[in-house]
Amino acid sequence: MKMRRLLMAAAIVLLAAFEAHGETLYVGNAFLTSVTPQCGKTAAVGDAYRAIYRPAGVNIGNGADSHFSLTSTRANVTMRVPNNSFQQNVNYVAQTVGSSVKIGSHAGGILGWTESGGGGGVNISVTTSLAKFFGVKSCTATIDVYLTRLPAS
C-alpha cells in the first residue's frame, strides 16, 4: 500500500515536471475578412498571416496569459491577454514591428472572439474582430483562422 502511494506520488511529480517544461501551441493561416477604412494601407481584406495561438493554461504549459501572434512576410503583431483568455469584451496589449521596421506597442479591444474546438482539441477555428489592429486608430479587422496543434516538444 505504501509502495503504491509512493509510485503514484512519483508519477504525479513526473507529470507535473513534463507539463511545466512543455507548451501548447497552435498554428494556422489567418485571413482578414473585413477591415474598416481607417486601416488604410496597413490592412486589407485578403491579407494573410501565419497565426500562432498560445492559449492560457498552466496545465498545458502556457501559464496564465494568452498570446495570439500574426506574422506576414515582413511584419508582426503579437497580442497578449494578461491572466485571461481571448474573448469578447476583453482588452489586449500588443507589440508591433511594421513592414518598415517601425516598432510600437499599444492596447486594443477584442470586439468578438468565437472559438470552437478549444479546450484541448487538436484543431481550433477562430473568428475574431480586433480593434486598433496593428496599432492603427479606429482600424478594426475581422479575422478567420483555422489552427492546428503543433507536436509536443
Partner 1 sequence: MRAGIWSAAFLCSWLTMPASQARAVEVWQGEAVILQASGCNAPANDERRNVGVGTVVKSVLRPRLVSDNGNDTRVSFTHDSGALMAIVLPGGAMPAATSAAFGATHSGLIVANRGVDYIGFAQTPRTITSDDVFVRLTGSLEDFLFIDGCSVTFRATYTKRPAE
Q: Interface with partner 1 includes 97 (CB under 8 A)?
A: yes
Q: Which of 33, 36, 38, 78 binds partner 1 (CB under 8 A)?
A: 78
Q: How far is the CB of 92 from partner 1 (least distance, A)?
A: 11
Q: Interface with partner 1 includes 58 (CB under 8 A)?
A: no
Q: Which residues contact 109 (CB under 8 A, 6 or more apart)?
A: 89, 90, 91, 92, 130, 131, 132
- Give the C-alpha distances (Å, rounded to integers) separating 138 from 20, 57, 62: 39, 31, 31
Q: How far is the CB of 94 from partner 1 (least distance, A)?
A: 8
Binding segment for partner 1 (CB under 8 A), chosen from 102-110, 111-119, 125-133, 134-142, is 102-110
The span from the CA of 76 to the CA of 22, in Å, is 24
Q: Which residues contact 127 (CB under 8 A, 6 or more apart)?
A: 112, 113, 114, 142, 143, 144
The site string for partner 1 over 109-148 (x = CB under 8 A, - otherwise) reads: ----------------------------------------
Q: Can you give the C-alpha Rg of the chain in angstroms?
A: 18
- Count of residues of this chain found to bind partner 1 when the rule CB under 8 A is applied: 33
Q: Are the CB atoms for 59 and 75 separated by under 8 Å? A: no
Binding site for partner 1 (CB under 8 A): 23, 25, 27, 41, 49-50, 52-54, 67-69, 71-76, 78, 80, 94-95, 97, 99-103, 105, 150-153
